[in-house]
């Protein structure tokens, strides 16, 4: 099974913090990837988001460089595929979804990919979850 992986879930794997139900959800997604060999699709901006959160976490003293390097190594081993569709091809759709659902353009990119490919979206973001529910989309 394929699904779109939002950065909010990925960061729970790294920081292991947040509400108990969010941690359980992130763990189920990770378990699906590890045990059921699910493939995660991500928009091309995903890697930049991951890197940004890591750099900010290191600057705040929440992460060591060694822990970050280990985590990035784990991500590289996972079945995570970046969408190869050029941004300008989907730019208008992302913009419309952002407007319609009050999302950031970044979050709208995850929703657009999920809708276009027809796969569920794994996210912990409440606004993004509401947007999925108000479209033809599916949640992981």
Write the CATH number for 6.
3.40.50.1010
Residue 49 lies in a domain: yes
DSSP state of 57: H
Domain with 116, as residue range(s), is 2-132
Residue 125 lies in a domain: yes
What local confidence, expressed as pLDDT, does residue 77 receive? 94
Q: pLDDT confidence of 137, banded at 50, 70, 90?
A: very high
Residue 114 structure tokens? 């999920």
Residue 140 lies in a domain: no
What local confidence, expressed as pLDDT, does residue 116 receive? 98
Number of domains in the chain: 1
Per-chain mean pLDDT for the chain: 97
Q: How confident is the model over 114-125, as a mean pLDDT?
A: 98
Q: In the chain, pLDDT over 90 holds for what percent of residues?
A: 97
Tell me the pLDDT tens digit for each residue of 51-72. 999 999 999 999 999 999 999 9
Sheet of 80-82: strands edge to edge?
80-82, 39-42, 2-5, 121-122
Q: pLDDT confidence of 25, banded at 50, 70, 90?
A: very high
């Amino acid at each position: 099974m394929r699904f779109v992986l939002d950065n909010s879930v990925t960061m729970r794997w790294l920081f292991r913090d947040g509400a108990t139900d969010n941690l359980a959800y992130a763990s189920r997604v990770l378990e699906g990837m590890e045990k059921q060999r699910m493939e995660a699709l991500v928009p091309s901006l995903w890697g930049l988001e991951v890197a940004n959160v890591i750099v900010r976490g290191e600057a705040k003293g929440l992460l060591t460089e060694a822990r970050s390097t280990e985590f990035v190594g784990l991500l590289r081993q996972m079945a995570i595929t970046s969408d190869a569709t050029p941004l300008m091809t989907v730019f208008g759709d992302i913009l419309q979804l952002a407007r319609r659902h009050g999302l950031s353009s970044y979050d709208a990119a995850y929703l657009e990919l999920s809708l276009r490919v027809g796969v569920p979206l794994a996210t912990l973001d409440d606004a993004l979850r509401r947007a999925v529910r108000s479209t033809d989309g599916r949640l992981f």
